Amino acid sequence: MLAPAPAPGAGVRTLLQGQPPAMVLPRTSNQPVLPRWYYFAADFILVQLAILLVWPGSGRISRTRLVVVAALILTACVLGMAGCLSRPARDSAD
């Protein structure tokens, strides 16, 4: 005949009792997602790209180029402000 089924282990018994699982919240970090210099480097690169788009133009700048340059400068401003307003990275010993 069939052998008797083995008794369930402790983990299975806990699951079958219907107790709610213990909530483990993720540990929040005090360090920012990106280092501050990333923002400033991106700011510098975007301003340099805007200068390269405007520099060779002799005379009037086309509307398309003007819109692209304005978008680059606006994005660079936002990234520069994000770099200034972000918290500095702390040592891991804190």
Q: Largest Cα–Cα distance of the chain, in whole Å?
A: 97
Question: What is the mean predicted confidence (pLDDT) over 82-86?
Answer: 87
Which of 23-37, 40-54, 72-86 comes out lowest in average pLDDT? 23-37
The whole-model pTM stands at 0.59
CA 79/CA 46 separation, integer angstroms: 10
SS3 letters across the chain: CCCCCCCCCHHHHHHHHCCCCCCCCCCCCCCCCCCHHHHHHHHHHHHHHHHHHHCCCCCCCCHHHHHHHHHHHHHHHHHHHHHHHCCCCCCCCC
Give me the pLDDT at residue 91, please: 47
Mean pLDDT of 34-50: 92
Residue 32 confidence (pLDDT) above 70: no
pLDDT at 48: 96
